[in-house]
Amino acid sequence: MTSTSATAVLFQNVSRHFGTVRAVDGVDFEIGQGEFFAMLGPSGSGKTTCLRLIAGFEQPTAGHIEIFGETAEGLAPNRRDVNTVFQDYALFPHMTVLNNVAYALMVRGVPRAEREKRAREALSLVRLEGMDARRPAQLSGGQRQRVALARALVNRPKVLLLDEPLGALDLKLREEMQEELRRLHKQLGLTFVFVTHDQGEALSMADRVAVFNKGRIVQVGTPEDIYQRPTTRFVADFVGSSNILTPDQAPRFGGVSRWTSLRPESILIGAAADAMDVRQTAEVIDQQFQGAMRKTRLKINGLEICAMAPASQTLGVGQAATVGWSHGALHAMDGEGNDV
């Protein structure tokens, strides 16, 4: 893997060890200029350490990192064309919104008139015009997040690093900020590197997703690739939910003798199953109302699996039901299933 003029960030066999702990273990990836790249994984998977390696808060134990073609090992954080938005916002409570955003420019010696002009421009980008004189305590969680974004953007970085920035927001605000981040990315054309453990965030915003587990990347691809064509049991189970069939079980469900993923939403119940390639008789074990859908647990061929039925489709416990799915819904995975 070699960098090109269109490469924003390059990792070549990068490791970061803390004593005997291999937080990052031989990671390779390349992020394109202007790309929205998500690092997705559970706690302790190595994704945040990789972000800190890009920011310069950590140095690699081994391997090579480049940022826009420049070697990053040993380069101080303030000498990198990157800025970070943290989950806890890290705003100064005694400063106004304007001064919070302009603070980094003040440290760099930018004249007051210029830094205030650029701070107001950054606040306008995140739709916080007129909030200049407020203090963080006078803002909502979503507004504080926008101030943190404006502060990161005011330095005009080439790469914006986002360390689980939506984790402290409630569901409604989180969805609004997802739209806001997508809008900013399209408007500014910057490279966004987004760390999250929330697969919904990664799938809805990113151009590509790197799935981390135990310090390594187990799959990189578009959101569609990651969700529809997982390569291992870990990816199939972590990204969304899936019915994982062993090589022995898969043929009984119409598949081949390999580890296989069958997504719950691909399983149709009742009359809708008649047109499917594979049809089975199932016993209903349980249903849970989840708004537009009902999570439905079924027993098929002695195996308990999960399906998603429309909310209008109410089934009784113990009831027999015809279920079906297409051959294309059975995704045979390359991995041997030993990554969990």
Please indicate, yes or no, whether residues 140 and 281 belong to a single structural domain of this protein.
no
In a domain, 338, yes or no: no
Q: What CATH number has the domain bearing residue 301?
A: 2.40.50.100
93: Cβ–Cβ under 8 A, 6 or more apart, which residues?
Answer: 135, 136, 137
For the chain, first and last CA: distance in Å? 28
H-only helix segments in the chain: 47-55, 97-107, 112-125, 141-153, 171-188, 199-205, 223-228, 233-238
Count of domains forming the chain: 2
Domain that holds residue 122: 7-233
Last residue of a domain, one of 179, 212, 233: 233
Region of residue 202 (left: phi > 0; alpha: psi -120 to 50; beta: else): alpha
309 occurs within a structural domain: yes
Q: Is 46 left (phi over 0), alpha (psi -120 to 50) or beta?
A: left
Asked if the structure places residue 340 within a domain, the reply is no
Per residue of the chain (340 residues), what is the pLDDT tens digit? 555 558 999 999 999 999 999 999 999 999 999 999 999 999 999 999 999 999 999 999 999 999 999 999 989 998 999 999 887 778 899 999 999 999 989 988 999 999 999 999 999 988 898 899 999 999 988 888 889 889 999 888 999 999 988 876 778 878 888 888 899 999 999 999 999 999 999 999 999 999 999 999 999 999 999 999 999 999 999 998 999 999 999 999 999 999 999 999 999 999 999 999 999 999 999 999 999 999 999 999 889 999 999 999 999 999 999 999 999 999 999 865 445 5
Same structural domain, 227 and 240:
no
Say whether both 256 and 322 belong to one domain: yes
Residues 100 and 152 grouped into a single domain: yes
- SS3 label, residue 46: coil
Same-domain status, 51 and 186: yes
Boundary-marking domain end, from 233, 266, 294: 233
